[in-house]
């Protein structure tokens, strides 16, 4: 006795809707990765800018400090903030806005994972922070 088995042709073939769905899923995952990297870059740029502004705020004019006022040593503040940005591997600018205010802007550029396929090969995240110096009187009262 011989048994004949009918086999369906097309076993293992991928249908067009399934291929489109798989491609859409890969695109969504890639865009999600690029979005997360952009958000992380923004958080990092903000954090580095804040740290650099605090470092710049440490560069005070000693003579003014002895008189009881907090005034930034402009050259020292810019050098301290730029050194912090360089140590973090971040591009940025440092500006002494006023005698008691320093502004730091940080920029982080990262390559994209999927957006490069549509022409966007990198994402730039920017962060900014300011340090405002306030002298506290020796008696600890309000400035």
Binning pLDDT at 50, 70 and 90, where does residue 132 land?
confident
Report d(CA 81, CA 95) in Å as an integer: 10
Write the pLDDT tens digit of every residue in 61-78. 888 778 877 777 888 999
Q: Give every CB contact of residue 22 below 8 A, 6+ residues apart in sequence.
A: none
**Taking the C-alpha atoms of 21, 24, 28 and 29 in order, what is their torsion angle to the nearest 10 degrees?**
70
Instruction: Provide the CB-side half-sphere exposure for 95 (13 A, CA).
Output: 9
Say what the pLDDT of residue 126 is: 96
- What is the reported pTM? 0.74
Binning pLDDT at 50, 70 and 90, where does residue 47 land?
very high
**Which of 58-62, 96-100, 105-109, 120-124 is the most confident on average?**
105-109
Report d(CA 82, CA 74) in Å as an integer: 12
108: tokens are 């982080």
Report d(CA 17, CA 91) in Å as an integer: 46
Say what the pLDDT of residue 138 is: 60
Write the pLDDT tens digit of every residue in 74-90. 889 999 999 999 999 99
Degrees to nearest 5, angle at CA 42 with 133 and 126: 65
């Amino acid at each position: 006795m011989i048994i004949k088995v009918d086999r369906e042709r097309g076993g293992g073939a991928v249908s067009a809707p399934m291929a489109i769905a798989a491609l859409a899923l890969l695109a969504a995952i890639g865009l999600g990765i690029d979005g997360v990297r952009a958000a992380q870059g923004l958080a990092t740029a903000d954090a580095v800018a804040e740290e650099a502004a605090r470092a710049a705020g440490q560069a005070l004019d000693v003579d003014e400090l002895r008189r009881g006022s907090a005034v930034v040593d402009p050259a020292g503040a810019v050098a301290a903030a730029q050194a912090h940005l360089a140590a973090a591997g971040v591009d940025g600018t440092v500006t002494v806005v006023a005698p008691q205010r320093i502004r730091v802007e940080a920029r982080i550029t990262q390559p994209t994972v999927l957006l490069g396929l549509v022409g966007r090969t990198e994402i730039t995240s920017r962060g900014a922070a300011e340090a405002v110096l306030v002298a506290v009187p020796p008696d600890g009262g309000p400035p």
